[in-house]
Amino acid sequence: MTGWRLGYIAGPQEIIDAINELQQYVVMSSSSIAQHAALAALKQKPTHIVEKYRIKRDYLVNSLKAAGYHVMGAEGAFYVFVKAPHNLTDVEFAERASARGLIVVPGRAFSQLHGYIRISYGASMDTLRRGVSILEDIAQELKDA
């Protein structure tokens, strides 16, 4: 349900109360369809889906680290932040990847980490393998330069 902007929170009551106070001025409401879909999703045991994403996450993180990249994230959503090597900016690195047909998102679109790119591992394993291959090639070229 990515993009539906529907979620829940658990935590200390004083934090939840503060969030609820802020939320009432920021969000009107989520759609009833999204609410019913979320209830149905909460009744499921997504063990097989979780395992598929764990495999993809581990492959991506391990492959990128082996290629010499510094990887952050991969602890909650299906994204990782990867430091652009050789002092490239996130935009420069994203442009270099894009020239090879690989789309990565500059980190500045999501945080103050301007030297990082954001990569999703929500794609198929074949797509991840192709993307990792391109990132390995870029890392090697920058190393050799």
Three-state SS string over 70-90 comes to CEEECCCCCEEEEECCCCCCH
The answer to whether the CB of 80 falls within 8 A of the CB of 71 is: yes
pLDDT category, 1, cuts 50, 70, 90?
low
Euclidean distance between CA atoms 109 and 130, whole angstroms: 24
Euclidean distance between CA atoms 25 and 86, whole angstroms: 44
pLDDT given for residue 131 in this prediction: 95
8-12, 55-59, 72-76, range with greatest mean pLDDT = 55-59
Tokens standing for residue 65: 């680290």
Euclidean distance between CA atoms 46 and 54, whole angstroms: 12
Length of the chain (residues): 145
Q: What is the mean pLDDT of residues 15-19?
A: 88
Q: Which residues belong to CATH 3.90.1150.10 in the chain?
A: 47-144
pLDDT given for residue 4 in this prediction: 66
pLDDT given for residue 126 in this prediction: 96
pLDDT category, 78, cuts 50, 70, 90?
confident
pLDDT category, 13, cuts 50, 70, 90?
very high
Q: Is the pLDDT of residue 11 over 70?
A: yes
Q: Is the pLDDT of residue 26 over 70?
A: no
Q: What is the mean pLDDT of residues 113-122?
A: 88
Read off the amino acid at residue 96. R
Q: Which CATH class is domain 47-144?
A: alpha beta
